[in-house]
Amino acid sequence: MSSLQRRRLCRVPPEGLEQSEETPRRVQVSETAGAKSGAVDRENAPIDPELAQVIEAWPTLPPAIREAILAMLRAAE
């Protein structure tokens, strides 16, 4: 065996990196993915109370009222 072959053998362990039957082949990623530190991003930021009121009432609003709200939003853009 040449010294180059010996060096290559020393770099790669003969065992220990293989997956066994006890280890999962795929790792599942959490759907929540929120930081445990309490970091706030777009998805978990607090909602303005007035906006929450609009969101809560939206399904019960008559179509004409919904269209009026949307028209005001479009006019403000």
Residue 18 predicted with pLDDT over 80: no
Q: Quick one: pLDDT band at residue 2, thresholds 50, 70, 90?
A: low
CB of 62 closer than 8 Å to CB of 70: no
| Domain-embedded: residue 64 | yes
The domain total for the chain is: 1
Q: What is the pLDDT of residues 37-67, one digit of tens each?
A: 666 677 777 888 999 999 999 999 999 999 9
Q: Quick one: pLDDT band at residue 17, thresholds 50, 70, 90?
A: low
pTM above 0.75, yes or no: no
Which tokens hold the place of 47? 């909602």
**Residue-range definition of the domain harbouring residue 54:** 47-77
| Domain-embedded: residue 2 | no
Buried b (16+ CB within 10 A) or exposed e, 51-72: eeeeeeeeeeeeeeeeeeeeee
Q: Return the pLDDT at 21.
A: 62
